[in-house]
Every structure is written in structure tokens, then in C-alpha cells.
Amino acid sequence: MSQTTMREELTDIQSRAQAVFADVQDDFCNVKKIMSRFEEWRRSYSDSYHNAYISLCLPKLLNPIVRHQLLVWNPLKDVGGEFETLPWFTAVETFCHGHGHEELEHTDRQTLSNVIEKTLLPKITSHVELVWDPFSNQQSTCLSAVCHRLREDYSIFEGEQSKPVKGFIEAVVHRLRSCVDEDVFIPLYPKKLLEDRLSPQRRFRDEQFWMAVKLLGNMGKWDLLLPESILKELMLDKLLNRYLMITLSSETLSRRVVSAHRKIAECLPDSWFEGESVCLPQLQNFRNNIVQKVHSLCKQQPPESPSKLKVLSRLRCYDSILALTGKYHYEDVIYSHQLLNQERE
């Protein structure tokens, strides 16, 4: 489907959607007016309001109206929390955090988070299942940014997981897992076909390799949102050690592979290395390949640049840095760049 056709269909949907509440009075379809009625009830008859468990009913009551306003909102294109500019969001936020909110019951202060969890999150889940391409950097950046915003500002994903949160996480994990298992393909060719950088085989192999590295970086954006054990399994056990390491091990041009090492290391979440002083077990093969290439490079030229060691430093491979230092006299480099003390960066 062309972009023009999609825009035309979207415009048609928006036009027809305007008629959905055409025969409904504003008091029953305008979120601001609805919330003002409940706010008046809460202020004037507090005991009655709380005895009716209104805070538990509001998400279900507002669901069809919020879904209507979210009809054309696309989490794969939301670059700055655009959902927060919609009328329903402003009205519910005012109800939860407006004048005198310090005195509100905890359940009322949670109303906005509950509406997001029960209405916004299922919308995002449907996009994950039906539209999201994990290879797309733009889509992955927007989608993960929205989710990080929900986690940091509205405590979604924190504490005991609700059914919508579990469904969303399962959808993301399933999409990433199927992408690694079914869509990643890095061919194996005889060495003589890869020696020519302009050969079709070499160019195709390199293209597939960098597509896989791009996926690795997109997967890293889900740090703190997905369980760490699952993310490490997908990124390290499956993508890095199953696919990328084969290419890195067969690469003979050391200078080119150093840039690949650096890019792969940048894809890994910072949180995995905070407070660590040793390399992760799943990164041992990657570490060994880096050390091998560093040895090869150091035999060709004097050790002037710290770039080769910065990757090892990021991975907390301090033992490897010390061993290389003793052999190639990197003392000045490692201390001037604090390569043995990355926590200070």
C-alpha cells in the first residue's frame, strides 16, 4: 500500500470517526466534563464517592472515549509523548493532580496510570503484534521511548504486573524472538569469495551482518522494560554468539573488525555493566575475539590509540587490558583514559 493511499484511508477513518459521538451530549462523551462531575461529587460528598469505588470504575468508563481519541495515534511515530497532548489526558491528569491533589486518596492519584495501563497499553500491544518492525530504528526508538516514559512517569511496568502489562511484554518478547529466529540470516561463504570486498557474496554478507548489528542495537533499547535474563538470552546467547560471532571470527582484516567490535559494544545496555568488575559469561567469546584482533593490530603498529582497549574497558575486561598492557606497554594509555575505572565516566 502506497503512502498516498494510507493517508487517504486515514483521513477517511478520521472523518467517519467524528460521527461516532454525534448523537451524544457533551456531558457523556467529553472527558473534561465527565471528570468535572466526578470531581464535584468527590468534593461535595466524599464518603459517598469513595464508597462507590469510583477510582476503580473510571478506567472502564473512559475506555471507549479514550480509544476514540487514540484512533490515529501511532506509538511507532510518537517522537515526544504526543499522547500527553490529547484532551482525555489533560482532563484525567487534572483530576488526579489538580488543585488539592495532595489530599486525594491514593487510588484517585493512580487513576491516570490505571487509564493508561488499561487503554493506552493495549493499543501499543496491538501495534507490536501487527505493525512493528524490530529492524526499524525509527520505529524501535519511538516505541521504546514511549514505554520508558510510561515506566518513569506513570510507574507502568513497576511492581506486580497486571494482565495488560504481561500481555505487552509477552508480545514484545515474542516479536523479538521470532525476528532473531526467522529473519536474521548471515550466509557462510568460502574464504576466497570474501577476500574481494566488491564481490556480490562479500557485499551481501556484510549487509546481513550490519542488519543484525542494527537489530542488536534496537533490542538494547528495551533494557529496564523487559526481564534482563530474557534480553540477555536474545541479544547475547542468540544474536551475538549464534550469528555475529561467526562473521567476526572469519574476518581477517583487523582494522575493519575493530569498528564492528566498537559498534556491538555500544549496543549493549549500560545497566549490565554498572558495578561490575569482570566480563559477563556470555561475552567471553566476544572478549576473546577482541583480544585476538588487538594482538594482530599491535604487531603491525605501535600502540598509540586507546580505541582498541576502550571496548574491553566498557565490557569490564580489566584482566585482558592488564595482560595487553604488560605485553605492549599501554600503561600511559590506560591511566590517562581511566580504562580501569569506567564507573567514573
Q: How many CB atoms lie within 10 A of CB 226?
A: 19
Summarised one tens digit per residue, pLDDT across range 171-230 is: 999 999 999 999 999 998 888 888 888 899 999 999 999 999 999 999 999 999 999 999
Segments forming the whole domain that contains residue 87: 20-174
User: Quick one: pLDDT at residue 345?
Assistant: 44
Are the C-beta atoms of 37 and 57 separated by less than 8 Å? no
Do residues 31 and 169 both lie within one domain? yes
State which of 174, 206, 223 marks the end of a domain: 174
Largest interatomic CA distance in the chain: 83
Domain final residue, candidates 174, 191, 213:
174
Among candidate residues 149, 174, 199, the one where a domain is terminated:
174
Kindly report the pTM of this predicted structure: 0.89
Distance between CA 100 and CA 170 in Å, rounded?
A: 39
Question: Does the residue 165 lie in any domain?
Answer: yes
Is position 28 within any domain? Answer: yes
| Domains held by the chain: number | 2
Is residue 44 in some structural domain? yes
CB within 8 Å of 107: residues ≥ 6 apart: 55, 56
Interval 9-31: pLDDT, tens: 777 777 776 767 777 777 788 89
